[in-house]
Amino acid sequence: MLPILRSLDSGELVLGALLLVDKPQTWTSFDAVNKIKNLVRRKYDLKKFKIGHSGTLDPMATGLLLICTGSWTKKLHELQGLDKKYTGEITLGVETDTYDAEGKTVFTKEVPALTTEDLKNLFQPFIGEIQQLPPAYSAIKKDGKPLYESARAGKEVKLEPRNVVVYAINIIDYTHPKITLEVHSGSGFYVRSLAHDIGVVVGCGAHLSALRRNAIGDYSIDHARSMEEVTKTLAG
């Protein structure tokens, strides 16, 4: 496990460090990285500054983002493949083209009567080593281009199932038509696809209406800094 940067005012940030950031909603992961890059360059009068992140979060999602700076960008490969923990909300009865709240509605349908026990049984087949179809609107590259570029251009996107691992799915609450759950998965798993697939199984459609990443491997959101704190400190 790589040590976490203790002070934003430390020269470690320039030389090489691991920074844990709580990504805000509507920001892309690139937005967060680019903001920090520009602030550091101005603060230390640098022409160039290496920075990168591991584990992209969708703009709608919030939560833990691992960012390496300086010489530590070479250590990003050590952070790839770590398991993830999320808290998410699935809304039944509305399917979208992106599988989340940012997409266009494909259809709506009445949600059948369900109990929490029914939902536990529905989620059971999604636990373990499974094959999952990723969303068409994803950053997965095919022929060198992200799938979302083809999807946004109206081109047909041929999705291929991928082997993923889900360690646990715990239902926290079910208040019709929303399911709040915790997901512990391996790398490469899409909670958006889980939401979509549950909608297919229930027969009423569904989408991911909220998502927060709480942990990546042994790194916790509890040790992350808000972008507000990062911006205020580096701009000062």
Domains and CATH numbers, the chain: 12-80+218-235 (3.30.2350.10), 84-216 (3.30.2350.10)
Structure tokens at 184: 């512990």
Does the annotation count 58 as an active-site position?
Answer: yes
Do residues 52 and 16 make contact, with C-beta atoms less than 8 angstroms apart?
no
Structure tokens at 97: 């083209």
User: Collapsing DSSP states into helix, strand and coil, what is residue 143?
Assistant: coil
Do residues 134 and 190 make contact, with C-beta atoms less than 8 angstroms apart?
yes
How far is 109 from 93, CA to CA, in rounded Å? 5
Find the catalytic residue in 22, 58, 100, 197.
58
Pairing type for strands 145-146 and 141-142 reads antiparallel
Quick one: angle between helices 29-44 and 227-235, nearest 10?
20
Instruction: Encode 222-232: b = buried (16+ Cβ within 10 Å), e = exposed.
Output: eebbebeebee
- Distance between first and last Cα of the chain: 30
**Predicted confidence (pLDDT) per residue in 112-166, tens digit:** 999 999 999 999 999 999 999 888 766 555 555 555 554 455 555 577 789 999 9
CB-based burial label for 169 (10 Å; 0-12, 13-18, 19+) = buried
The DSSP output letter for 100 is B
Which one, of 103, 98, 76, 100, lies nearest residue 89 by Cα? Answer: 100
Flag residues of the chain having pLDDT under 50.
Answer: 150-151
Instruction: Encode 103-123: b = buried (16+ Cβ within 10 Å), e = exposed.
Output: beeeeeeebeebeeeebeebb
